[in-house]
Chain A
């Protein structure tokens, strides 16, 4: 077979990237790791099952969704906007973290992760959930079920999930507007 390169441009974490010459058929995770040096999206299974590689796709209509970078070709993202784990925290000019996202902060406070390999996927999934709840809040008694449905596909081998889920619940219950009736 021959390797056919095509120019590829997209927006990653708010910054324009490309055009870069990228082989057709290359998966997004390889593009992130090897072409733009973003290694926080982790390879877990390479078949879209474990969700360690999940990034966020920002749609033109303002909605966001999880996207599995290990089974999605890099060229799918041509002209699209994507967020990876490296794009959540606010950094200063030296690249040091000055403020974590709400989800990241709560994961930290709840001791949600252990080895941390799956953490980027959980941060992205929980962030998408919070953004969805901002648009479509749920009843208080549906919060746990909603979190389970949103995160259940994500595999963690270390933690048994409890502290991830409790942290997300903490965010959902204490962020005005995510639960019906809360302000």
Chain B
């Protein structure tokens, strides 16, 4: 074993939490590069003419089979770890209606017995338990009923790979090794969360609301009775909740007793549980070095900071038995589609290490285990009642009841249920709405922040409903949509006005004119004549997906070195979406070229000491006002990476950091050059404004001035001691926090809440003295901060991007098989950071949506993946033949102007295709399905 040499390895010391020094060596960082021969990130290759990257900066490592994933790493790869790698797997209960009474390993014989068995008794004795977020019974004690199928009961650790391999194979599918006692029935628990959003709009969509969540408040239940929410009684002038229920009752009454002009549409929709099927199964490789009281964790995570915080919480609870003074976390590039955000595998990995007899222990799911345990997309039951005026074709009221099956542990289920309900209006304006949602606890596997996050479920249903309503009214489905489309400035079902231009109408107009739609009747006749036994259909759906969580935060640091190198550090982690590439590109808006040196998943921000406290969603305005007096406080520290938060939210911090460097460094440097000489130099005869600044071919010009090469500007900025580095912290609660700062003696208001700057090498001694952090930064305490009021939490969402998808399909009458012949998507996403990445997200999202609509299905309970027998042989992921790989097309609406911010699209792209397929099937065979997926068996039943 090599000695641990902190200085040589240059680990980044992030912080001291609860007495534990936390060190981070992010993949792509210098410390990590020192651990591995292969660098993951290569400098970005780009075309200076069009500003596009030639390939992903993580591409070289990925295409050559480099060690990119945590799963690829073994103890021998870590220079300071022991070479010997131990391995672990977990025994799980596959029945959740009876008490667990132990296990029997006699099948293993003598030779394959584990070196160490860890049970709940060990954990209780040693004070080891899950971080609070994950709930109780990390390993189930004897005598208790499993909370869910697949509940972990014991960890088996092996110090020799071959023994591990053959033992695991021997026990595979032998669920009888778990012993059970009395039948108790499944656990009955209160829901994980429940919410209700009631809105009665004003006279027009632009007038003030009579009642809404934003104006007033969401409605919460008074109590739970038999595990169901009990809502307040409606009282017109009562408490806020009572008022909300008064209006909810009014909507109900109108739907029950509609006017003669109203069509009241009533449907129940069901959508299934699915596995995100991230191809990298969950894993962790951890080492507890008792001699040095150090814990090392190699983990794939979409939120490395969450791992740090939660691991520290665990360590603190177990410190008497397992003292830890140093925690080393190595976040890696990963993929999860949400299922590696706040998931419990890192903490099982941590436990393996604690009981690993001083050896590093690798815990890596195989695919059966991955199906059995990984975070699932919520199954939803939805009951929609929608009123529409037959004469005008305008939607009048929407009452929706949503039940999300959250499974055995809460995870993000309350939030997913809420987001599903608030997204249900999709692209339409409803004058009145009452959306009640509940996330239930069940014995199913935990569901969490899987891609779509509730919105795939509710918006796909809305698109099925709207299409059917149009048919009932005898209207063209796109014309009906256009009549009711939410336009810029109208309110959502929470009473908030969505941000900026809402362009769903443009998407619909384009779809209406597209040949797939315009020629569908003719195509149907021709296709069916040519293909006896097949029924042709065209379907359309259009949705807009919110993006963000209402507490989005991140750090970014941008520096320009004297040699012209642009470096970027960011809290965001790469999860496959290409954010590392897009963020490297994002700085070029201000600096004229991309960052050549970039680091992600960074958690060391001691150069900008931001602190946080309280819950950003639940805190009172008074509390926020009080704590925000601390100039270094923010409502949130750093968000995990999700498919949809990099383009908008992460780009904001990246660009604001770059903008500070430009405005306080490069621009004044340019002015110094342009104004030098007699009479004010070349700038004197001209009007010079910063808003005229433009980068052309790596040179900066403005208003007719000499174009100055980037390198010359950088040199000048350093020479003059101007700002050459900036770290920003940002927070967004449906709008950005802003703050007043004084930078180089001048007041400036910026859409950030924390700022540190670094001055160039020629800085005056007084400025250099201010650069007192370990990284040489000057922390600029803000003078005043403007954090979005806590009331904005009730807005739930304000940022949207719209996508519409047309699908051509054929239904094979004999087999019931649906063949996707072609599809075309129209997307609105602001300004694209990287068109290649955007189109790749669209293509991948559509494929995932096709899987959801037609192929992917997991039973929730005993027959489902909790029994440990599910794999890709019976869970069909779409293949190329399923997605019209050669035929499909897509287009992106041009931005309104080039100043449009980029928008998050990685989730919305997968949603419309789901509704479009179901609507296309209706066009093909005249039957409207309401349960997903639409399988060949279901179609055969209808056609029989």
Contact = CB atoms under 8 A, between A and B. Distances in A.
A157 B872 CA distance: 12
Given A1-B166, A46-B368, A117 B63 contact: no
Interface stretch (B1-9, B50-58, B251-259, B488-496): B50-58
B840 A119 contact: no
A37 to B, nearest CB: 7
A171 interface: no
Interface residues of B, number: 72
Contact of B62 (A2, A23, A116): A116
A161 B847 contact: yes
A39 interface: yes
B133 interface: no
B624 to A, nearest CB: 38
B848 A44 contact: no
A117 to B, nearest CB: 4
B119 interface: no
A165 B886 contact: yes
B843 A163 contact: yes
Given A107-B63, A144-B886, A155 B843 contact: no
B872 A47 contact: yes
A48 to B, nearest CB: 9
B925 interface: no
A151 interface: yes
Given A1-B111, A1-B112, A100-B64, A46 B880 contact: no
Given A113-B63, A119-B62, A158-B576, A49 B880 contact: no
Contact of A120 (B60, B65, B281, B871): B65
Interface in B295-313: none
B482 to A, nearest CB: 28
Given A25-B166, A49-B871, A113 B62 contact: yes
A23 B166 contact: yes
A114 B165 contact: no
B841 to A, nearest CB: 8
B871 A117 contact: no
A136 interface: no
- How large, as a class, is the contact surface on chain A? 35 or more
A30 B165 contact: yes
A97 B60 CA distance: 9
A114 B577 contact: yes
Interface in B824-848: 836-837, 840-848
Interface string B267-288: 0000000001111110000000
A160 interface: yes
B623 interface: no
B279 A23 contact: no
A34 interface: yes
A46 B836 contact: no
Task: Tell me which of B58, B62, B845, B846 has the highest count of chain A C-beta atoms within 10 A of its own C-beta.
Answer: B62
A175 interface: no
A159 B840 contact: yes
B880 A44 contact: no
A157 B880 contact: no
Interface in A92-139: 95, 97, 100, 104, 107-109, 111, 113-120, 123
Interface stretch (B68-76, B93-101, B387-395): B68-76
Contacts of B68: 116
A8 interface: no
B578 interface: yes
Interface in B888-941: 888
B840 A157 contact: no
Contacts of B873: 45, 47, 49
B367 A109 contact: no
Interface string B148-189: 000000000000011101100010000000000000000000
B366 interface: yes
Given A3-B111, A116-B68, A162-B885, A111 B63 contact: no
B291 interface: no
A170 B9 CA distance: 43
A25 B165 CA distance: 10
B883 interface: yes
Contacts of A114: 335, 576-578, 840-841, 844
B871 A45 contact: yes
A86 to B, nearest CB: 5
A160 B846 contact: yes
B658 to A, nearest CB: 24
B884 to A, nearest CB: 9
Contacts of A107: 63
B62 A39 contact: no
Contacts of A120: 65
Contacts of B165: 23, 26, 30
Nearest to A153: B879
B679 interface: no
Contacts of B56: 108, 111
B65 A160 contact: no
B848 A157 contact: yes
A165 B877 CA distance: 17
A46 B371 CA distance: 13
Nearest to B577: A114
A136 B486 CA distance: 56
A84 interface: yes
Contacts of A178: none
A28 interface: no
A61 to B, nearest CB: 27
Contacts of B72: 39-40
Nearest to B848: A157
A84 B63 CA distance: 12
A100 B63 contact: yes
A109 to B, nearest CB: 6
Contacts of A38: 65
Interface in A144-176: 144, 148, 151-163, 165
B851 to A, nearest CB: 9
Interface string A41-56: 1111111011010000
A148 B161 contact: no
Interface string A65-91: 000000000000000000011101100
A159 B337 CA distance: 12
A49 B109 contact: no
Task: Tell me which of A40, A45, A148 has the highest count of chain B C-beta atoms within 10 A of its own C-beta.
Answer: A45
B864 interface: no
Interface in B330-386: 333-335, 337, 366-368
B109 A42 contact: no
Contacts of A156: 279, 844
Nearest to B62: A116
A135 B628 CA distance: 71
B367 A47 contact: yes
Nearest to A40: B65
A49 B72 CA distance: 21
B47 to A, nearest CB: 12
Contacts of B836: 111
A2 B60 CA distance: 43
B102 interface: no
B872 A49 contact: yes
A30 B161 contact: yes
A158 B37 contact: no
A100 B847 CA distance: 29
A64 to B, nearest CB: 17
B880 A151 contact: yes
A74 B844 CA distance: 34
A119 B842 CA distance: 19
B432 interface: no
B66 interface: yes
Given A47-B871, A88-B64, A157-B278, 11 more contacts: A1-B170, A42-B71, A44-B367, A89-B64, A95-B38, A100-B60, A104-B63, A116-B68, A144-B886, A159-B844, A161-B843
The 4 closest A-B pairs by CB, nearest first: A40-B65, A116-B62, A115-B576, A85-B65
8 contacts: A50-B872, A113-B59, A113-B62, A116-B62, A119-B62, A159-B840, A162-B840, A163-B840
